[in-house]
Amino acid sequence: MEKKTIIIGHKNPDTDSICSAIVYAYFKEQTEKKTFEPARAGELNEETGFVLNYFGAEVPRLIKNVKTQVKDIEFRRTKGVDRGISIKRAWNLMKELDVPTLPVVNSKGGLEGIITVKDIASSYMNIYDNSTLSKANTKYENILDTLEAELITGDAQKYFNKGKVLIAAANPDIMEQYISEGDLVILGNRYESQLCAIEMGAACIVVCAGADASKTIKKLAQANNTTVMTTPNDTFAAAGLINQSMPISFFMTSENLITFSEDDYLDDIKEIMASVRHRYFPVLDKTGKYKGMISRRNLLGAKGKNIILVDHNEKIQAAEGVESANILEIIDHHRLGTISTAGPVYFRNQPLGCTSTIIYQMFKEKNIDVPPQMAGLMCSAIISDTLLFRSPTCTDIDKEAGLSLAKKAGINIEEYANKMFAAASNLKNKTDEQIFKQDYKRFTLGKINIGIGQISSLNEDELSDIKDRLVPYMSDILKDIEEDMIFLMLTNILEQKTRLICVGNGAGKLACESFRVAAESLTENEVLELPGVVSRKKQLVPALTSGAQAML
């Protein structure tokens, strides 16, 4: 089965993160003819929701965790067997497939139990009385198959489910004392013995050594509803083989089964596997249907999900479990972060204002036509990341790409950008948490972990209101998160300035040191006015990094 590749951006995704995932998935499918799925690591913000709706793009699936799951690795797709098959057939299948365990499934694919080599061995070693074959409700079809017998009279689909099994080794007078109604009698080609068994009400007679039954015996057997079969095996061999015809349902384990779901994480099932002595475990899908068998061996060297990272390369910003994923590519425009890979990967990182600009370059390099929808998504990402070419992160390449894509998408870039920014500014009905986390990223500055959120708006009054709401909220949550300091950029797009809220021990001091302003510049609530600062990536993070180093 082909393993799909997930293309995913960072937590708390912005428009570039989402649009880049969607467009790059389209690009990869055009160039490689494989399956690529765009995904998101967090909830959409208002701006991105507007963009996807405007261009009729589907919202990518939410994947917050990319840890390795059972469905990500190769496990044995052993076909399930019916509960009615014989022990002998089960044993032969085990040898043929080289497996010690067979799953028992019903007609709808549901798991009913498992049969193991140990179960089959127990069926031989344990002492059973001569009525075990009937207690197991054994089908005549199984007996015929096990003894390689031919049916003379009777119905192979019926069951032996009443009497005992015995060998007719004595003369008829003595046999009459042992044979009861419903018994199965193994005998030779002696007419008298066959006649006696039928007259005593035997349910079945097995004629050994390939001998046939006479016309009289056949007629009497039919009249008395006695099943007659003939086997090439001698009496000793037939007696030894016949218990192998019992159905596996009589021996299989059907209660307290240890099963795993395709969605279970490998880290979790390893502990369970280590605590029991089973070698193979059934795997079920979401509906409870059987999918295959997994063993400890399948976990050795298992590769995680195939993923491509866009718009980030820092572990702290990536979906949970990224360290166990099989990272194939990274497409980004940020500083080099802390993502590590097991082997070489395709890593394209350029000092541009937007990841979508890089992807647009890749379209041109491969001479692939950009459909209007994809053009609209990439143009939106560039508008968002460069604040319509106002951000200091914006390059001539970004602007050229944005204008070209706007033309392909059939939009007036100025009018469309105003609608986008207006949608992003619609924060009235959002909670403090939703506002703070809608564009929030975590960074590591040496030994300091920080978080930086950003709200961009065209409305100065709205930004002032957010400041009054978010200062106490940020102070409250700091004690419950891993970050040492948190910052929130309230960016006025039109006036090209940012109010920076600084929360955490030393956060205000770090901000002042980073931008080389006096401590008195901080307001009472530790808010710093930063004229001309609008970019988290190019202006704020580098400044804080330098400031943190200077304070060591």
- What are the sequence ranges of the domains in the chain? 5-68+304-424, 75-125+250-268+278-293, 137-236, 432-550
Written as one letter, the residue type at 46 is E
In this model, does residue 39 exceed pLDDT 60? yes
In this model, does residue 122 exceed pLDDT 90? no
Nearest to 167 by CA among 106, 234, 99, 83: 234
pLDDT tens sequence across 224-276: 999 999 999 999 999 989 999 999 999 999 988 999 999 999 988 988 888 88
Written as one letter, the residue type at 7 is I
The CATH label, of 1.10.287.3510, 3.40.50.720, 3.10.580.10, 3.30.360.10, for the domain at 75-125+250-268+278-293 is 3.10.580.10
Nearest to 103 by CA among 296, 292, 262: 292
CA distance 495 to 507: 25
Average pLDDT over residues 147-161: 95
Residue owning tokens 């572990």: 315
| pLDDT confidence of residue 552 | 65
Superfamily for domain range 432-550 = DHHA2 domain (3.10.310.20)
| pLDDT confidence of residue 522 | 87
| Average pLDDT taken over every residue of the chain | 91
Nearest to 272 by CA among 262, 282, 260, 283: 260
pLDDT tens sequence across 269-293: 988 888 887 788 999 999 999 999 9
Tokens of 455: 């709200």
In this model, does residue 1 exceed pLDDT 60? no
CA distance 440 to 107: 51
Superfamily for domain range 5-68+304-424 = inorganic pyrophosphatase (n-terminal core) (3.90.1640.10)
Tokens of 188: 């030779």
Q: Which fold has domain 137-236?
A: 3.40.1390
